[in-house]
Protein backbone atom coordinates (compact mmCIF):
# COMPACT_ATOMS: atom_id res chain seq x y z
CA UNK A 1 0.00 0.00 0.00
CA UNK A 2 1.20 3.52 -0.77
CA UNK A 3 0.06 6.88 0.58
CA UNK A 4 0.97 10.08 -1.24
CA UNK A 5 0.92 13.81 -0.67
CA UNK A 6 2.07 16.51 -3.06
CA UNK A 7 5.74 15.87 -2.29
CA UNK A 8 6.06 12.66 -0.31
CA UNK A 9 5.46 9.02 -1.21
CA UNK A 10 5.19 6.66 1.76
CA UNK A 11 5.56 2.91 1.30
CA UNK A 12 3.36 0.93 3.69
CA UNK A 13 4.34 -2.58 4.78
CA UNK A 14 1.77 -5.16 3.63
CA UNK A 15 2.65 -7.18 6.73
CA UNK A 16 1.97 -4.50 9.34
CA UNK A 17 0.29 -1.65 7.43
CA UNK A 18 2.88 0.67 8.95
CA UNK A 19 5.22 3.00 7.01
CA UNK A 20 8.60 1.51 6.11
CA UNK A 21 10.12 4.31 4.02
CA UNK A 22 9.36 7.55 2.23
CA UNK A 23 10.55 9.15 -0.99
CA UNK A 24 10.08 12.60 -2.48
CA UNK A 25 8.13 12.63 -5.71
CA UNK A 26 9.60 14.42 -8.70
CA UNK A 27 8.28 17.89 -9.55
CA UNK A 28 6.91 18.98 -12.95
CA UNK A 29 10.00 21.10 -13.60
CA UNK A 30 12.34 18.25 -12.66
CA UNK A 31 10.56 15.73 -14.89
CA UNK A 32 11.16 18.01 -17.89
CA UNK A 33 14.92 17.72 -17.37
CA UNK A 34 15.15 13.92 -17.48
CA UNK A 35 14.56 13.49 -21.24
CA UNK A 36 16.92 16.40 -21.95
CA UNK A 37 19.70 14.81 -19.92
CA UNK A 38 18.94 11.38 -21.38
CA UNK A 39 19.21 12.78 -24.90
CA UNK A 40 22.55 14.43 -24.15
CA UNK A 41 23.90 11.19 -22.65
CA UNK A 42 22.58 9.23 -25.62
CA UNK A 43 24.66 11.21 -28.12
CA UNK A 44 27.81 9.83 -26.48
CA UNK A 45 26.58 6.42 -25.35
CA UNK A 46 25.31 5.40 -28.79
CA UNK A 47 28.90 5.64 -30.07
CA UNK A 48 30.20 3.01 -27.67
CA UNK A 49 30.85 -0.46 -29.04
CA UNK A 50 28.69 -3.45 -28.25
CA UNK A 51 31.69 -5.08 -26.58
CA UNK A 52 32.06 -2.09 -24.24
CA UNK A 53 28.40 -2.20 -23.34
CA UNK A 54 28.53 -5.97 -22.82
CA UNK A 55 31.39 -5.58 -20.34
CA UNK A 56 29.43 -3.01 -18.33
CA UNK A 57 26.32 -5.19 -18.23
CA UNK A 58 28.34 -8.27 -17.29
CA UNK A 59 29.96 -6.47 -14.37
CA UNK A 60 26.65 -4.97 -13.25
CA UNK A 61 24.94 -8.38 -13.20
CA UNK A 62 27.77 -9.74 -11.06
CA UNK A 63 27.38 -6.86 -8.61
CA UNK A 64 23.61 -7.38 -8.55
CA UNK A 65 24.08 -11.05 -7.73
CA UNK A 66 26.48 -10.18 -4.90
CA UNK A 67 23.78 -8.02 -3.26
CA UNK A 68 20.98 -10.57 -3.46
CA UNK A 69 20.64 -11.09 0.30
CA UNK A 70 20.26 -7.36 1.01
CA UNK A 71 17.86 -6.93 -1.90
CA UNK A 72 15.83 -9.97 -0.84
CA UNK A 73 15.28 -8.52 2.63
CA UNK A 74 14.05 -5.25 1.13
CA UNK A 75 11.66 -7.04 -1.23
CA UNK A 76 10.15 -8.96 1.68
CA UNK A 77 9.74 -5.79 3.71
CA UNK A 78 8.23 -3.72 0.90
CA UNK A 79 6.22 -6.39 -0.94
CA UNK A 80 5.39 -8.98 1.70
CA UNK A 81 6.72 -11.90 -0.33
CA UNK A 82 8.19 -14.59 1.94
CA UNK A 83 11.95 -14.31 2.51
CA UNK A 84 12.29 -17.95 1.42
CA UNK A 85 11.68 -16.83 -2.18
CA UNK A 86 12.85 -13.24 -2.64
CA UNK A 87 16.57 -13.95 -3.16
CA UNK A 88 15.59 -16.38 -5.92
CA UNK A 89 14.03 -13.54 -7.88
CA UNK A 90 17.34 -11.67 -7.91
CA UNK A 91 19.31 -14.73 -9.04
CA UNK A 92 16.73 -15.44 -11.75
CA UNK A 93 16.90 -11.81 -12.91
CA UNK A 94 20.68 -12.14 -13.14
CA UNK A 95 20.35 -15.34 -15.17
CA UNK A 96 17.83 -13.63 -17.47
CA UNK A 97 20.29 -10.77 -17.91
CA UNK A 98 23.11 -13.21 -18.69
CA UNK A 99 20.93 -14.87 -21.32
CA UNK A 100 20.16 -11.51 -22.92
CA UNK A 101 23.87 -10.74 -22.83
CA UNK A 102 24.63 -14.05 -24.54
CA UNK A 103 22.23 -13.48 -27.43
CA UNK A 104 23.02 -9.77 -27.89
CA UNK A 105 25.68 -10.32 -30.56
CA UNK A 106 23.28 -12.18 -32.82
CA UNK A 107 20.27 -10.01 -31.98
CA UNK A 108 22.05 -6.75 -32.82
CA UNK A 109 24.06 -7.73 -35.87
CA UNK A 110 23.12 -6.49 -39.34
CA UNK A 111 20.60 -8.55 -41.26
CA UNK A 112 21.52 -9.25 -44.91
CA UNK A 113 18.93 -8.44 -47.55
CA UNK A 114 18.20 -10.20 -50.85
CA UNK A 115 21.38 -10.68 -52.85
CA UNK A 116 21.59 -8.95 -56.24
CA UNK A 117 24.57 -8.19 -58.46
CA UNK A 118 25.74 -4.61 -58.02
CA UNK A 119 23.83 -4.05 -54.77
CA UNK A 120 24.44 -4.65 -51.08
CA UNK A 121 21.26 -4.67 -49.07
CA UNK A 122 21.17 -4.94 -45.29
CA UNK A 123 19.23 -3.85 -42.24
CA UNK A 124 21.38 -2.10 -39.66
CA UNK A 125 20.13 -2.13 -36.07
CA UNK A 126 20.74 1.17 -34.33
CA UNK A 127 19.69 2.53 -30.92
CA UNK A 128 16.51 4.59 -30.89
CA UNK A 129 17.25 7.05 -28.08
CA UNK A 130 15.91 7.55 -24.55
CA UNK A 131 13.73 4.65 -23.40
CA UNK A 132 11.11 5.13 -20.67
CA UNK A 133 10.54 2.02 -18.54
CA UNK A 134 7.48 2.07 -16.28
CA UNK A 135 7.40 -1.10 -14.25
CA UNK A 136 5.13 -2.48 -11.58
CA UNK A 137 5.25 -5.05 -8.82
CA UNK A 138 1.98 -6.61 -9.64
CA UNK A 139 -1.10 -5.99 -11.69
CA UNK A 140 -4.16 -3.99 -10.60
CA UNK A 141 -7.64 -5.30 -11.11
CA UNK A 142 -9.44 -4.38 -14.34
CA UNK A 143 -12.62 -3.76 -12.33
CA UNK A 144 -10.94 -1.15 -10.16
CA UNK A 145 -9.55 2.26 -10.91
CA UNK A 146 -5.79 1.94 -11.43
CA UNK A 147 -3.42 4.83 -11.82
CA UNK A 148 -0.38 4.65 -14.02
CA UNK A 149 1.68 3.90 -10.94
CA UNK A 150 0.81 0.25 -10.40
CA UNK A 151 1.96 -2.26 -7.84
CA UNK A 152 4.92 -4.69 -8.10
CA UNK A 153 5.15 -8.37 -9.09
CA UNK A 154 8.72 -9.48 -9.85
CA UNK A 155 10.33 -6.04 -9.98
CA UNK A 156 13.93 -7.06 -10.68
CA UNK A 157 12.93 -9.57 -13.32
CA UNK A 158 10.49 -7.16 -14.95
CA UNK A 159 13.14 -4.43 -14.99
CA UNK A 160 15.85 -6.64 -16.48
CA UNK A 161 13.54 -7.60 -19.35
CA UNK A 162 13.53 -4.01 -20.62
CA UNK A 163 16.66 -2.44 -19.14
CA UNK A 164 19.32 -4.90 -20.35
CA UNK A 165 18.23 -5.00 -24.03
CA UNK A 166 17.92 -1.21 -24.06
CA UNK A 167 21.44 -0.70 -22.71
CA UNK A 168 23.03 -3.38 -24.89
CA UNK A 169 21.50 -1.72 -27.95
CA UNK A 170 23.05 1.62 -26.96
CA UNK A 171 20.03 3.46 -25.57
CA UNK A 172 19.71 5.60 -22.49
CA UNK A 173 16.99 4.69 -19.99
CA UNK A 174 14.62 6.52 -17.65
CA UNK A 175 13.11 4.31 -14.95
CA UNK A 176 9.92 4.76 -12.94
CA UNK A 177 9.41 2.10 -10.26
CA UNK A 178 6.29 1.26 -8.34
CA UNK A 179 5.97 3.46 -5.25
CA UNK A 180 5.66 0.17 -3.35
CA UNK A 181 9.24 -0.84 -4.23
CA UNK A 182 11.13 2.43 -4.73
CA UNK A 183 14.58 1.16 -3.77
CA UNK A 184 14.82 -1.10 -6.85
CA UNK A 185 15.87 1.70 -9.20
CA UNK A 186 18.18 3.21 -6.62
CA UNK A 187 20.14 -0.01 -6.33
CA UNK A 188 20.18 -0.57 -10.09
CA UNK A 189 21.45 2.94 -10.81
CA UNK A 190 24.19 2.62 -8.19
CA UNK A 191 25.25 -0.81 -9.45
CA UNK A 192 25.53 0.27 -13.07
CA UNK A 193 27.52 3.38 -12.18
CA UNK A 194 29.92 1.16 -10.23
CA UNK A 195 30.12 -1.11 -13.27
CA UNK A 196 31.30 1.82 -15.41
CA UNK A 197 28.11 3.10 -17.04
CA UNK A 198 28.41 6.82 -17.88
CA UNK A 199 26.36 9.34 -15.93
CA UNK A 200 22.73 9.88 -16.99
CA UNK A 201 22.61 6.76 -19.16
CA UNK A 202 20.32 5.45 -16.43
CA UNK A 203 18.10 7.96 -14.64
CA UNK A 204 15.11 7.35 -12.43
CA UNK A 205 12.31 9.20 -10.73
CA UNK A 206 9.72 8.51 -8.05
CA UNK A 207 6.12 9.44 -8.61
CA UNK A 208 2.61 8.41 -7.78
CA UNK A 209 1.08 11.05 -10.03
CA UNK A 210 -0.58 10.01 -13.30
CA UNK A 211 -0.10 13.59 -14.54
CA UNK A 212 3.67 13.43 -14.05
CA UNK A 213 3.89 10.10 -15.84
CA UNK A 214 1.63 11.33 -18.63
CA UNK A 215 3.93 14.32 -19.13
CA UNK A 216 7.04 12.20 -19.67
CA UNK A 217 5.21 9.71 -21.90
CA UNK A 218 4.22 12.65 -24.09
CA UNK A 219 7.73 14.12 -24.21
CA UNK A 220 8.96 13.98 -27.84
CA UNK A 221 12.50 13.11 -26.76
CA UNK A 222 11.33 9.76 -25.36
CA UNK A 223 11.79 7.31 -28.23
CA UNK A 224 10.27 4.15 -26.74
CA UNK A 225 7.91 3.42 -23.85
CA UNK A 226 7.82 0.07 -22.04
CA UNK A 227 5.09 -0.60 -19.49
CA UNK A 228 4.35 -3.66 -17.35
CA UNK A 229 1.23 -3.52 -15.21
CA UNK A 230 -2.55 -3.44 -15.30
CA UNK A 231 -4.80 -3.27 -18.33
CA UNK A 232 -6.14 0.07 -17.10
CA UNK A 233 -2.62 1.38 -16.65
CA UNK A 234 -1.55 0.12 -20.07
CA UNK A 235 -4.50 1.76 -21.75
CA UNK A 236 -3.68 5.02 -20.00
CA UNK A 237 -0.07 4.87 -21.19
CA UNK A 238 -1.20 4.08 -24.72
CA UNK A 239 -3.66 6.98 -24.63
CA UNK A 240 -0.99 9.38 -23.36
CA UNK A 241 1.31 8.37 -26.22
CA UNK A 242 -1.40 8.56 -28.90
CA UNK A 243 -0.72 12.16 -29.89
CA UNK A 244 2.67 11.33 -31.39
CA UNK A 245 4.47 8.56 -33.30
CA UNK A 246 6.24 6.45 -30.67
CA UNK A 247 6.46 2.72 -30.06
CA UNK A 248 4.77 1.53 -26.87
CA UNK A 249 5.40 -1.95 -25.49
CA UNK A 250 2.79 -3.28 -23.04
CA UNK A 251 2.64 -6.42 -20.92
CA UNK A 252 -0.61 -6.42 -19.00
CA UNK A 253 -2.98 -8.58 -16.98
CA UNK A 254 -4.23 -12.13 -17.25
CA UNK A 255 -6.90 -14.58 -16.13
CA UNK A 256 -4.86 -17.67 -16.84
CA UNK A 257 -6.68 -21.01 -17.14
CA UNK A 258 -5.50 -24.57 -16.51
CA UNK A 259 -7.20 -27.66 -17.91
CA UNK A 260 -6.71 -30.99 -16.11
CA UNK A 261 -7.45 -33.96 -18.38
CA UNK A 262 -8.62 -37.30 -17.01
CA UNK A 263 -5.39 -39.17 -17.81
CA UNK A 264 -3.17 -36.95 -15.66
CA UNK A 265 -1.17 -37.96 -12.59
CA UNK A 266 -3.65 -36.37 -10.22
CA UNK A 267 -1.44 -35.96 -7.15
CA UNK A 268 1.40 -34.42 -9.14
CA UNK A 269 -0.88 -32.05 -11.05
CA UNK A 270 -2.51 -30.90 -7.80
CA UNK A 271 0.91 -29.96 -6.35
CA UNK A 272 1.73 -27.95 -9.46
CA UNK A 273 -1.62 -26.18 -9.67
CA UNK A 274 -1.53 -25.08 -6.03
CA UNK A 275 1.96 -23.67 -6.53
CA UNK A 276 0.91 -21.96 -9.77
CA UNK A 277 -2.17 -20.43 -8.17
CA UNK A 278 -0.97 -19.18 -4.79
CA UNK A 279 2.77 -18.53 -5.11
CA UNK A 280 3.40 -14.88 -4.17
CA UNK A 281 -0.14 -14.96 -2.73
CA UNK A 282 -1.48 -15.29 -6.28
CA UNK A 283 -0.07 -11.88 -7.20
CA UNK A 284 1.33 -12.62 -10.63
CA UNK A 285 -0.03 -11.77 -14.06
CA UNK A 286 0.58 -15.42 -14.95
CA UNK A 287 -0.92 -17.05 -11.86
CA UNK A 288 -3.36 -19.88 -12.45
CA UNK A 289 -6.70 -18.10 -11.86
CA UNK A 290 -9.22 -20.69 -13.06
CA UNK A 291 -9.04 -24.48 -13.21
CA UNK A 292 -11.13 -26.75 -15.45
CA UNK A 293 -11.11 -30.44 -14.51
CA UNK A 294 -12.48 -33.44 -16.34
CA UNK A 295 -15.56 -34.57 -14.41
CA UNK A 296 -14.23 -38.15 -14.21
CA UNK A 297 -11.41 -37.06 -11.89
CA UNK A 298 -12.92 -33.88 -10.43
CA UNK A 299 -13.58 -35.14 -6.91
CA UNK A 300 -10.25 -36.90 -6.63
CA UNK A 301 -8.42 -33.84 -7.90
CA UNK A 302 -10.16 -31.56 -5.39
CA UNK A 303 -9.19 -33.95 -2.58
CA UNK A 304 -5.56 -33.81 -3.70
CA UNK A 305 -5.68 -30.00 -3.82
CA UNK A 306 -6.96 -30.05 -0.25
CA UNK A 307 -4.12 -32.35 0.81
CA UNK A 308 -1.55 -30.02 -0.73
CA UNK A 309 -3.06 -26.92 0.87
CA UNK A 310 -2.87 -28.52 4.31
CA UNK A 311 0.91 -28.40 4.01
CA UNK A 312 1.14 -24.68 3.25
CA UNK A 313 1.96 -22.09 5.90
CA UNK A 314 0.49 -18.56 5.86
CA UNK A 315 2.23 -16.00 8.02
CA UNK A 316 4.97 -13.44 8.62
CA UNK A 317 7.01 -13.28 5.39
CA UNK A 318 10.24 -12.80 7.36
CA UNK A 319 9.83 -16.38 8.66
CA UNK A 320 11.85 -18.72 6.42
CA UNK A 321 9.27 -21.49 6.90
CA UNK A 322 6.35 -19.42 5.57
CA UNK A 323 5.03 -20.15 2.06
CA UNK A 324 2.43 -17.38 1.74
CA UNK A 325 2.62 -13.80 2.98
CA UNK A 326 0.16 -10.91 2.82
CA UNK A 327 -1.24 -9.32 -0.31
CA UNK A 328 0.11 -5.90 -1.08
CA UNK A 329 -2.64 -3.60 0.18
CA UNK A 330 -5.94 -3.33 1.98
CA UNK A 331 -7.56 -2.58 -1.37
CA UNK A 332 -6.15 -5.80 -2.80
CA UNK A 333 -7.41 -7.78 0.18
CA UNK A 334 -10.87 -6.25 -0.13
CA UNK A 335 -11.04 -6.91 -3.88
CA UNK A 336 -10.02 -10.57 -3.47
CA UNK A 337 -12.52 -11.11 -0.69
CA UNK A 338 -15.21 -9.47 -2.82
CA UNK A 339 -14.56 -12.01 -5.60
CA UNK A 340 -14.89 -14.86 -3.10
CA UNK A 341 -18.07 -13.41 -1.62
CA UNK A 342 -19.57 -12.97 -5.09
CA UNK A 343 -18.83 -16.61 -5.96
CA UNK A 344 -20.33 -17.95 -2.74
CA UNK A 345 -23.46 -15.83 -3.21
CA UNK A 346 -23.92 -17.33 -6.68
CA UNK A 347 -23.62 -20.96 -5.57
CA UNK A 348 -19.91 -21.72 -5.22
CA UNK A 349 -18.75 -23.80 -2.27
CA UNK A 350 -15.68 -23.11 -0.15
CA UNK A 351 -13.88 -26.43 0.38
CA UNK A 352 -10.62 -25.04 1.73
CA UNK A 353 -9.15 -27.61 4.15
CA UNK A 354 -8.54 -26.87 7.81
CA UNK A 355 -5.13 -25.32 8.36
CA UNK A 356 -4.21 -23.62 11.62
CA UNK A 357 -2.15 -20.94 9.88
CA UNK A 358 -5.08 -20.05 7.60
CA UNK A 359 -7.40 -19.56 10.59
CA UNK A 360 -5.01 -17.47 12.69
CA UNK A 361 -6.10 -13.88 13.19
CA UNK A 362 -3.72 -11.23 11.81
CA UNK A 363 -5.60 -7.92 12.09
CA UNK A 364 -2.65 -5.66 11.30
CA UNK A 365 -1.59 -7.05 7.91
CA UNK A 366 -3.24 -7.71 4.55
CA UNK A 367 -3.44 -11.47 4.92
CA UNK A 368 -5.82 -13.50 2.75
CA UNK A 369 -6.09 -17.22 3.39
CA UNK A 370 -5.78 -19.50 0.34
CA UNK A 371 -9.30 -20.37 -0.75
CA UNK A 372 -10.40 -23.43 -2.74
CA UNK A 373 -13.78 -23.05 -4.48
CA UNK A 374 -15.89 -25.61 -6.34
CA UNK A 375 -19.25 -25.35 -8.14
CA UNK A 376 -18.03 -22.23 -9.89
CA UNK A 377 -19.14 -20.96 -13.31
CA UNK A 378 -18.62 -18.00 -15.62
CA UNK A 379 -21.35 -15.92 -13.99
CA UNK A 380 -18.88 -15.32 -11.16
CA UNK A 381 -16.21 -12.62 -10.97
CA UNK A 382 -13.69 -15.19 -9.79
CA UNK A 383 -13.90 -16.88 -13.22
CA UNK A 384 -13.99 -13.79 -15.42
CA UNK A 385 -12.07 -10.92 -13.79
CA UNK A 386 -8.49 -10.89 -12.58
CA UNK A 387 -8.61 -11.85 -8.90
CA UNK A 388 -4.92 -11.46 -8.19
CA UNK A 389 -4.98 -13.40 -4.97
CA UNK A 390 -4.59 -16.90 -3.47
CA UNK A 391 -7.84 -18.33 -4.80
CA UNK A 392 -8.28 -21.63 -6.69
CA UNK A 393 -11.68 -21.89 -8.41
CA UNK A 394 -12.33 -25.36 -9.89
CA UNK A 395 -14.99 -26.09 -12.52
CA UNK A 396 -16.06 -29.47 -13.93
CA UNK A 397 -15.98 -30.09 -17.69
CA UNK A 398 -17.17 -33.03 -19.75
CA UNK A 399 -14.94 -32.83 -22.84
CA UNK A 400 -11.81 -31.30 -24.29
CA UNK A 401 -13.97 -29.14 -26.49
CA UNK A 402 -15.90 -27.72 -23.55
CA UNK A 403 -12.67 -27.03 -21.68
CA UNK A 404 -11.11 -25.16 -24.60
CA UNK A 405 -14.27 -23.12 -25.13
CA UNK A 406 -14.28 -22.06 -21.48
CA UNK A 407 -10.54 -21.33 -21.48
CA UNK A 408 -11.09 -18.99 -24.43
CA UNK A 409 -14.12 -17.33 -22.84
CA UNK A 410 -12.08 -14.41 -21.53
CA UNK A 411 -10.97 -10.94 -22.55
CA UNK A 412 -7.46 -11.88 -21.43
CA UNK A 413 -4.94 -14.14 -23.10
CA UNK A 414 -1.56 -14.16 -21.36
CA UNK A 415 -0.72 -17.78 -20.47
CA UNK A 416 -2.61 -21.06 -20.16
CA UNK A 417 -1.76 -24.66 -19.34
CA UNK A 418 -2.95 -28.15 -20.25
CA UNK A 419 -2.19 -31.13 -18.01
CA UNK A 420 -2.10 -34.61 -19.53
CA UNK A 421 0.07 -37.71 -19.90
CA UNK A 422 -0.52 -37.53 -23.65
CA UNK A 423 1.82 -34.65 -24.44
CA UNK A 424 1.18 -34.91 -28.17
CA UNK A 425 -2.53 -34.43 -27.62
CA UNK A 426 -1.76 -31.65 -25.14
CA UNK A 427 0.28 -29.83 -27.78
CA UNK A 428 -2.52 -30.32 -30.30
CA UNK A 429 -5.12 -28.88 -27.91
CA UNK A 430 -2.79 -25.97 -27.16
CA UNK A 431 -3.15 -24.84 -30.76
CA UNK A 432 -6.80 -23.99 -30.05
CA UNK A 433 -6.16 -21.96 -26.90
CA UNK A 434 -6.22 -18.18 -27.32
CA UNK A 435 -3.18 -17.26 -25.24
CA UNK A 436 0.25 -15.85 -25.95
CA UNK A 437 1.93 -18.79 -24.21
CA UNK A 438 0.43 -22.23 -23.64
CA UNK A 439 2.25 -24.73 -21.45
CA UNK A 440 1.78 -28.49 -21.40
CA UNK A 441 2.33 -29.95 -17.93
CA UNK A 442 3.66 -26.87 -16.20
CA UNK A 443 2.55 -23.47 -14.96
CA UNK A 444 4.25 -20.25 -15.84
CA UNK A 445 7.60 -19.68 -14.15
CA UNK A 446 10.34 -17.01 -14.26
CA UNK A 447 12.57 -18.80 -16.75
CA UNK A 448 16.02 -17.27 -17.29
CA UNK A 449 15.53 -17.53 -21.05
CA UNK A 450 12.03 -16.04 -21.14
CA UNK A 451 8.78 -17.49 -22.38
CA UNK A 452 8.67 -19.77 -25.36
CA UNK A 453 6.33 -17.67 -27.46
CA UNK A 454 4.73 -14.28 -27.84
CA UNK A 455 3.10 -12.60 -24.86
CA UNK A 456 0.73 -10.72 -27.14
CA UNK A 457 -2.64 -12.16 -26.24
CA UNK A 458 -6.00 -10.50 -26.50
CA UNK A 459 -5.28 -7.86 -23.86
CA UNK A 460 -1.59 -8.24 -23.15
Catalytic residues: 251, 285
CB 201 within 8 A of CB 65: no
Question: In the sheet that 131-135 helps form, which strands lie side by side, from edge to edge?
Answer: 202-204, 173-176, 131-135, 224-228, 247-251
User: Up-side HSE of residue 34: CA atoms within 13 Å toward CB?
Assistant: 28
User: Up-side HSE of residue 377: CA atoms within 13 Å toward CB?
Assistant: 6
For residues 126-164, b (16+ Cβ closer than 10 Å) or e, as one string? ebbbbbbbbbbbbbbbbebebbbbbbbbbbbbbbbbbbb
Helix (H) or strand (E) holding 78: helix 68-79
Q: Torsion angle, CA of 25/29/34/35, rounded to 10 degrees?
A: 130
Instruction: Say how far apart CA 457 and CA 236 lie, in whole Å.
Output: 18
End-to-end CA distance of the chain: give it in Å, rounded: 25
Question: In the sheet that 8-12 helps form, which strands lie side by side, from edge to edge?
Answer: 2-4, 8-12, 19-24
Non-local (6+) Cβ contacts of 401 within 8 A are none
Q: What would the DSSP string read from start to end of 16-34?
A: TSSEEEEEEPPPHHHHHHH
Label the pairing between strands 173-176 and 202-204.
Answer: parallel
Non-local (6+) Cβ contacts of 6 within 8 A are 25
Q: Is 413 helix (H, G, I), strand (E, B) or coil?
A: coil
Determine the length of the chain. 460
Instruction: Say how far apart CA 161 and CA 90 lie, in whole Å.
Output: 13
Amino acid sequence: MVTMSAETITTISPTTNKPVLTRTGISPSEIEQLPIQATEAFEKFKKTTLKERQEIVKKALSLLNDKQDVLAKELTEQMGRPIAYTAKEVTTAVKRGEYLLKISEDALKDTDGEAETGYKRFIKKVPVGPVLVLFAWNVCYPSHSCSLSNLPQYPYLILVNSLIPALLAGNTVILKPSPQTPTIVEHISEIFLEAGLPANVIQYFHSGSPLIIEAIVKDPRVALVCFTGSVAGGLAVQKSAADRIVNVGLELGGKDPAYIRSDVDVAWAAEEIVDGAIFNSGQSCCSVERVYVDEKIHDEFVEKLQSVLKGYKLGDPSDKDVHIGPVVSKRSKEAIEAHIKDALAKGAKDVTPENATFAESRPDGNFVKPTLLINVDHSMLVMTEETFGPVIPVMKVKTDEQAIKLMNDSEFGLTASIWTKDTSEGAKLAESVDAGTVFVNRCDYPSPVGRLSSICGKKN
